Amino acid sequence: MKALHYLRSARIQTTFWSICYLLVGLHYLSTIAKNHQPGVGFSRMLMVGEQFYESALPKFKETDPLVMKGSSGYDAQFYVQIALDPSLQDPELPNAIDNLTYRARRILMPAVAWLAGGGETAKIVKIYPLINPICWVISAILLLYWLPPYCIQNFIRWTGMLLGWGWTLSAQRSLTDGPAATLILLAAILIARGLKKGGAFGIAASALTKDMSLFAGLAVFEKCPSARSTWFRFVKLGCICIMPLFLWLLYLSQTLSVPGNNLMGRANFGLPFHGIGAKLISLAQAASQGENFATFNLICFLGIATQIVFILSRQSWDEIWWRIGFGFAVLAAFLGPAVWEGEPGAVPRVLLVLHVAFNLSVPKSWKWLPLLLLANVSALDFNHQLQPPYLSDQSVRFLEQTELIQYQSEDLKDQLQVTFEEGWLRTEHHGGQTAKWTIGAAEVKFFNITESELTLTIDLELGARERRICLINLNGKTIQALQQPTSRTVFDLGRIQLPPGENILVLDPQIEDHEAPRRIGACLYGVRLKKTD
């Protein structure tokens, strides 16, 4: 009777948690569906920016994707154009892609879109943003191999990985991180089942999706080789992991003759733990000033730091996910300021595989639950992060007017129109706070709609990830050179005269060459306007 009661209880628990898993999956898919618009499909998730759209491939423009006004957009707008010609023979590609030698290394996702679309431009553009949601579903299924639905611990790990920042950012921006992680999951299952050669091919495919996936190559090496035959097998598996990417890079070297750097700037890497240390200090300072979003982000990044420390502080070579996580934990230690910039920035998706490795390596004991919750807290931000990207239309301009621009009086609002023009990334929202990052020099247009000169004081509330000088120019003349600290600071620009018509205020952070081409400079938290006599 006790055995029968246990079986019934186990069935009830499995049924309950299976329903919970299913509800999470349905919620994810329904949130993704909000990005669909009649006539343009899911092209909103390509995040095509107006600043790069002019130089885009003509055949890409013919698909008439949604364009983010006054924005530089994001990376998927370049990868989808590579998908239109994965052989890279189109002579217009170097002009259309911001850094072709860098982005072309990640060829598998564009190639899959090209194959699935049969080489037809319109189909490729429609299919490309769906690759991430499809891979998400595949990952959700693959994770059941380690986390079957029968207890709350498995549910926390499964949900935390799939709804956390890493997967969410990859899906919302149609990036390569999620699909690469899916291939690593598949490779790990094959290796765990003794199919090491199949696992090596899976890692090779992941490396062609995102080259950093090679850090997962340690998964194929279960123990140190002790005999000549073992060494031969290890070398063979290593070659399988590396050779496809090596051959593709060889092809690129012969095909492309694009001037410039292959890398996205030396700031992508730095001294050990410098990047995460600076990030945590910056968020702690912002949180101490009462910024709600900074407090939540600080907790999330403490979760990422926890994952790094946990993996590096243990030595469990027999566990496949420890071997995978170790490579990415070492990578995390050397990531530079450019990768840690922004809220939440690129780090959560770059370290998505580390997040998976952590969840599948932490012992299933209640004493580890606080650590598990801390590492997965970013899943609470899922609904916000997966919302459709803003297109800088009237609704967004209204949002910026009400949340970023503060007028001292209603009559000043009637006399002066303020809009954000070139050089701004999309508006970010966290915990009721609004912020906007510059990319290079950024313009704010003050349009005086009266027939007389307006005199007012302008306060800018700015932040930055590194100390730097920020030049403030008004109508072509430098009016101040701000010594911009890393903490959130209010700068008084003094009395400003604005003649009738258009007046352009330019924020020009002085960014060193090694930070190019990202050139993320200053973060604007608010503009305060006060009319004076």
- Are the CB atoms for 529 and 416 separated by under 8 Å? yes
Q: What is the pLDDT, as a whole number, of residue 395?
A: 38
Tell me if residue 468 falls in helix, strand or coil.
strand
- Burial label, 357 (beta-carbon count in 10 A; 0-12, 13-18, 19+): buried
Pull the structure tokens for residue 531. Answer: 């009319």
Q: What is the pLDDT, as a whole number, of residue 115?
A: 96
- Are the CB atoms for 388 and 351 separated by under 8 Å? no
Q: Which residues of 37-54 are buried (b: 16+ CB within 10 A; e: fewer)?
A: eeeebbbbbbbbbbbbbe
CA distance 173 to 179: 12
| Cβ neighbours around 263 below 10 Å, total | 12
Q: What is the pLDDT, as a whole number, of residue 44?
A: 84
Look at the chain and count its residues. Answer: 533
| Contacts for 199 with CB less than 8 Å, ≥ 6 apart | 187, 188, 189, 190, 191, 219, 220
Q: What is the pLDDT, as a whole number, of residue 388?
A: 63
Q: What is the pLDDT, as a whole number, of residue 8?
A: 61
Beta bridge pairs of residue 523: 437, 463
Percent of the chain exceeding pLDDT 70 equals 86
Residue 167 corresponds to which amino acid?
Answer: W
Q: Are strands 433-439 and 520-531 parallel, antiparallel or unpaired?
A: antiparallel
* Ordered DSSP codes for 157-203: HHHHHHHSHHHHHHHHTT-SHHHHHHHHHHHHHHHHTT-HHHHHHHH
CA distance 84 to 90: 9
Tell me the backbone φ, ψ of residue 176, rounded to 5 degrees: -90, -10
Q: What is the pLDDT, as a whole number, of residue 488?
A: 78
| Cβ neighbours around 194 below 10 Å, total | 8
- Cα-Cα-Cα-Cα dihedral sign, residues 118, 119, 122, 126: positive
pLDDT-flagged residues of the chain (< 50): 260-265, 392-399, 431, 514-518
How far separated are the first and last CA of the chain, in Å rounded? 89
* Cα–Cα separations (whole angstroms), residue 379 to 13, 55, 95, 175, 529: 23, 37, 38, 19, 37
Closest CA to 80 of 97, 94, 67: 97
Residue 300 corresponds to which amino acid?
Answer: C
| pLDDT, the chain, mean | 84
Q: Which residues of 333-342 are buried (b: 16+ CB within 10 A; e: fewer)?
A: bebbbbbbbb
Pull the structure tokens for residue 171. Answer: 């899906």
Closest CA to 355 of 144, 211, 159: 159
Q: What is the pLDDT, as a whole number, of residue 516?
A: 42
| Contacts for 168 with CB less than 8 Å, ≥ 6 apart | 381, 382, 385, 386
Is the whole-model pTM more than 0.85? no
Q: What is the pLDDT, as a whole number, of residue 394?
A: 38
What CATH number was assigned to the domain covering residues 405-531?
2.60.120.260
Residue 384 corresponds to which amino acid?
Answer: H
Tell me if residue 84 falls in helix, strand or coil.
coil
Q: Tell me: the pLDDT tens digits for 84-140? A: 999 999 999 999 998 898 899 999 999 999 999 999 999 999 999 999 999 999 999
- Are the CB atoms for 216 and 206 separated by under 8 Å? yes
Q: What is the pLDDT, as a whole number, of residue 325?
A: 93
Q: What is the pLDDT, as a whole number, of residue 60?
A: 92
CA distance 149 to 17: 5
Q: Domain-by-domain residue ranges, the chain?
A: 18-34+129-386, 405-531
